[in-house]
Amino acid sequence: MAFNLTRRKFLQTASLAAATIPLSKVVSAETGVAKASLEPKGTMGDTTVVGGLCEMCFWRCQLVGKVRDGQLMKLEGNPKSIDNGTAICARGNAGVKLLYDVDRLKYPLKNVGKRGEPKWKRISWKEALDECGSKLKAVVDQHGPQGICVFPHGASAKYPMHYFERTVGTHNVSEASFFQCRGIRDAAYVATIGKAPGEMVDMSNTKVIFLVGSHLGENIHVSHIKSYMKGLQGGAKLVVADPRYSASAAKSDIWVQIKPGTDTAYLLAIMNYLVQNNKYNKEFVTKHTSGFDKFSTAISEWTLDKAAKECDIPAAQIKEVAELLAANAPNVAIHPGRHVSWYGNDFQRERSLACLTALLGAYYVKGGWVPPKNPAKLGKTSWAPQEHGDEFNLNVINDKKVYPFKPPGTPTELIRDCAISGKPYAIKGCVVWGQNPMQTIPKQEKMKQVFNAMDFVMCVDVMPTDVTMWADILLPESSYLERHDEIKTGVGKVKATDKEPTQFIAPRMPLVAAMFERKDQVYITNEIAKRMGHEKEIPVQTLEELVDKTLASANITLASVKAEGGIHLQPGFSPYGVPEDFMVQLFNEDVAAAGFPGAPTYKAVEDVPAGYARLLYGRAPVHTFNRSQNNVWLNHEMPGNPVWLNDEVAAKLGLKDGDTVGFINSEGVKSRTTTTVKVTPGIRKDAVYMYHGYGSANPLMTAGVGKGVDDQSLITKIAIDPETGCHGMRNNFVKLTKDGKALDIPA
């Protein structure tokens, strides 16, 4: 540009004075900076704000914030916490960076370009809400409430999810936490012990910690890890089944380097061994289980040798594990896991874990599976439940359930197929709230087809995740550090020597005010509800009111909890002792009646085709799925996700540690990006492994974009767990590519 004045020349311009006269006429009257009416304030010192509840992951550690002049300087564990205490993890710490992430969404945006290739324009909240309200209403008017599908995730998504499910009346809601994560576990335990298991294993008091695939240590949840470490320090033995030398495997007494997909066979053989050798807890089985005979007959084929062959592990090792469990029963912690949507045979594996716990009598005993007793009862304020019938329930065909043991909501694939085909009815509106279906749901191409089939797509999020590129309207939400919300309850001990546990109730309180124009879920949902004609049904006016109403049944208020330091404590009860009516269905007649195996059953998964390796993925200690990929601190800690490759395989392929590779899967899908190789003896030859949640495709994520490889982009073969309709995501096979050439993985 020719124009190149300096300040001095600028000011020397002869006719400047004349030119400045009209300037004042075209500027608006208000300014953001103004003369202070009071005496100017100096710098204020740090204050400690209580009531924070972390949500860098779902564990919800209790926090305090060090705040200076409204600016959050640092996060720490709340000293009053009897859960995480003053400790928080690396991700928790890095919440500050999420809060102040440059790329965070700030204002409502309208896409004036194409879906998937957005051109954003900032618009006012009024315009954004008018657009969302009218477009969604138009979908309902034309296609009925079932014409809307919802993909929610996280604490803030519950209120809008209830609105669309209960008030608007669509069944088409798919939560990633259920259909791509823990829903199978919950459904399987409900079908076995009548309740979801959480991660309520008493590891700190146990003698054996038994993990299948869980990689505690890489997967960090503060109080859970504390209890795991306490258990290990107390001498607990650790048994880990994992094809990979995970952080847990590295600490284990027995590492079962199992062939992927065969875990159920391993569990059946352990159970059969216990039964055949009379090493199970007969008293517990008699008093608290049903269907033992049918169960033991069904599993009797699973000898140690048969399982050894199937699982590619020594029979002696299975025996060793079974003996160790038997010798220490009932004080053994059979961990139910969390992310369990692996192979499409997962309901049966989770049933096996629940049944194994029963054979060992490890329910409600020290070191076993122990839920808190008489936990604090909180209210359930939300949109009023309404009956909407099953006419438009995709999971019900001719009065028969497609997936009878599905977790709450509608299985993702039923929604996607209906949206794409328009059969049996049209789905034309999509609400994505805090979920990133592009990176949580397998087969990205199919997700794109869903979005392209919509009349209207809206997204609400804190970050511009991959899915937000598909929105017509994108709304910025206040983050967990800027709003009231979610109430964490639990038990712990005030002093280590306490005999009885103490219960705690910790509602989320904002540590700082929301910046820019970010709004919370109650505001956004209510405003949309008003525009869709549901003003009268609005249950609360503000998020604060919602939390206060929920706390009322425990006779506390936000104000009273704040005065208590952000956490309310009350006496708890010893959790040990099996309730009289507690029953475990070793053989479940309902499951059998629905046409599935009533006793835990192993179904083999597809073998790895020649030349390929199975793609396994898991958690990185400093990341929470893809949600934290743009966090500059966390990105700095682990900027990429090197692929674990067996050392012998690497040698045959001529790959060295640190070499750059890409991927191509068995369906011909290539990775968008590349990563480096981590050569290690700590993984089986038929599998490769990488951390999940990398390689964002969204350039709006300036730190995360293109870093590492997005494992989800390679997960294109969909397995469905037949009982629950949840996804299995570890049946995908890949070759590595080097300089554009695909390398055959040697057998």
- Residues 86-105 contacting another protein, CB under 8 A: 97, 99-105
Tokens of 620: 């990185």
Residues numbered 304-363 forming contacts with another protein, rule: CB under 8 A: none
Question: Which is closer to another protein, CB of 32 or CB of 571?
Answer: 32
Pick the binder of another protein from 48, 71, 134, 290 (CB under 8 A): 71
Residue 700 binding target from ligand SF4, another protein, none, CB below 5 to 8 Å by type = another protein
Residues numbered 483-542 forming contacts with another protein, rule: CB under 8 A: 515-516
Question: Which is closer to ligand SF4, CB of 82 or CB of 88?
Answer: 88
Q: Specify whether the CB–CB gap between 729 and 412 falls below 8 A.
A: no
Rg (CA), the chain: 27
Residue 505: half-sphere exposure toward Cβ, Cα within 13 Å: 24
How far is residue 693's CA from residue 585's CA, in Å, rounded to a whole number? 37
Question: Which is closer to another protein, CB of 231 or CB of 695?
Answer: 695
Which among 65-73, 182-190, 663-671, 729-737 is the span making contact with another protein, rule CB under 8 A?
A: 65-73
Question: Which is closer to another protein, CB of 108 or CB of 411?
Answer: 108
The residues, any chain, with a CB within 8 Å of residue 278's CB and separated by 6 or more, are none
Pick the binder of another protein from 152, 337, 464, 725 (CB under 8 A): 464
Question: Which is closer to ligand SF4, CB of 433 or CB of 625?
Answer: 625
Question: Which is closer to another protein, CB of 58 or CB of 633?
Answer: 633
Question: Which is closer to ligand SF4, CB of 92 or CB of 539?
Answer: 92
Question: Which is closer to ligand SF4, CB of 84 or CB of 111?
Answer: 84
Residue 550: half-sphere exposure toward Cβ, Cα within 13 Å: 25
# residues contacting another protein (CB under 8 A): 71
Q: Which residue is nearest to ligand SF4 (CB)?
A: 92
The single-letter DSSP state of residue 11 is H
Residue labelled with tokens 């994505």: 432
Between the alpha carbon of residue 422 and those of residues 160, 415, 449, 484, 720, the distances in Å are 25, 10, 12, 39, 21
Give SS3 for 583.
coil
Which among 114-122, 294-302, 316-324, 590-598 is the span making contact with another protein, rule CB under 8 A?
A: 114-122
Q: Specify whether the CB–CB gap between 209 and 228 falls below 8 A.
A: yes
Question: Which is closer to ligand SF4, CB of 206 or CB of 624?
Answer: 624
Which among 111-119, 330-338, 523-531, 683-691 is the span making contact with another protein, rule CB under 8 A?
A: 111-119
Question: Which is closer to another protein, CB of 69 or CB of 589?
Answer: 69
Question: Which is closer to another protein, CB of 106 or CB of 287?
Answer: 106
Residues numbered 405-424 forming contacts with another protein, rule: CB under 8 A: none
Question: Which is closer to ligand SF4, CB of 93 or CB of 712?
Answer: 93
Is 740 a binder of another protein (CB under 8 A)?
no
Q: Angle at Cα 244 formed by Cα 715 and Cα 321, nearest 5°?
A: 125
Nearest distance, CB of residue 44 and another protein, angstroms:
10
Residue 92 binding target from ligand SF4, another protein, none, CB below 5 to 8 Å by type = ligand SF4
Residue 235 binding target from ligand SF4, another protein, none, CB below 5 to 8 Å by type = none
Q: Which amino acid belongs to residue 574? A: S
From the list 604, 725, 696, 710, the residue with the least C-alpha distance to 180 is: 725
| 283 φ/ψ angles, rounded to the nearest 5 degrees | -60, -45
Question: Which is closer to another protein, CB of 573 or CB of 633?
Answer: 633
Residue 112 binding target from another protein, ligand SF4, none, CB below 5 to 8 Å by type = another protein
Applying CB under 6 A, the residues found at the interface with ligand SF4 are 54, 56-57, 59-61, 84, 88-89, 91-92, 220-222
Q: Specify whether the CB–CB gap between 256 and 240 falls below 8 A.
A: yes
Is 286 a binder of another protein (CB under 8 A)?
no
Q: Pattern of binders to another protein over 631-650, x per CB under 8 A?
A: -x------------------
Nearest distance, CB of residue 48 and ligand SF4, angstroms:
17
How far is residue 483's CA from residue 599's CA, in Å, rounded to a whole number? 46
Is 654 a binder of another protein (CB under 8 A)?
no
Q: Specify whether the CB–CB gap between 626 and 153 falls below 8 A.
A: no
Q: Angle at Cα 586 formed by Cα 580 and Cα 591, nearest 5°?
A: 115
Residue 20 binding target from another protein, ligand SF4, none, CB below 5 to 8 Å by type = another protein
Cβ atoms < 10 Å from Cβ of 384: 10
Pick the binder of another protein from 106, 195, 400, 656 (CB under 8 A): 106
Q: What is the DSSP string of 267-281?
A: HHHHHHHHHHTT-S-
Residues numbered 677-736 forming contacts with another protein, rule: CB under 8 A: 699-702, 705
Between the alpha carbon of residue 709 and those of residues 436, 640, 738, the distances in Å are 16, 8, 14
How far is residue 536's CA from residue 565's CA, in Å, rounded to a whole number? 36
Residues numbered 567-596 forming contacts with another protein, rule: CB under 8 A: none
Is 398 a binder of another protein (CB under 8 A)?
no
What are residue 67's DSSP bridge partners?
Answer: 47, 72
Is 16 a binder of another protein (CB under 8 A)?
yes
Nearest distance, CB of residue 57 and ligand SF4, angstroms:
3
Residue 47 binding target from another protein, ligand SF4, none, CB below 5 to 8 Å by type = none
Is 47 a binder of another protein (CB under 8 A)?
no
* For helices 315-328 and 304-311, angle between their N-to-C axes, nearest 10 degrees: 120
Nearest distance, CB of residue 705 and ligand SF4, angstroms:
22
| 663 φ/ψ angles, rounded to the nearest 5 degrees | -135, 155
Task: Kindly report the three-state secondary structure assignment for every residue of 332-398.
Answer: EEECCCCCCCCCCCHHHHHHHHHHHHHHCCCECCCCCECCCCCCCCCCCCCCCCCCCCCCCCCCEEC
Residue 71 binding target from ligand SF4, another protein, none, CB below 5 to 8 Å by type = another protein
| 477 φ/ψ angles, rounded to the nearest 5 degrees | -105, 150
Nearest distance, CB of residue 471 and another protein, angstroms:
12
Cβ atoms < 10 Å from Cβ of 177: 20
Question: Which is closer to another protein, CB of 576 or CB of 633?
Answer: 633
Pick the binder of another protein from 114, 121, 287, 741 (CB under 8 A): 121
How far is residue 147's CA from residue 350's CA, in Å, rounded to a whole number? 34
Pairing relationship of beta strands 660-665 and 733-738 according to DSSP bridges: antiparallel
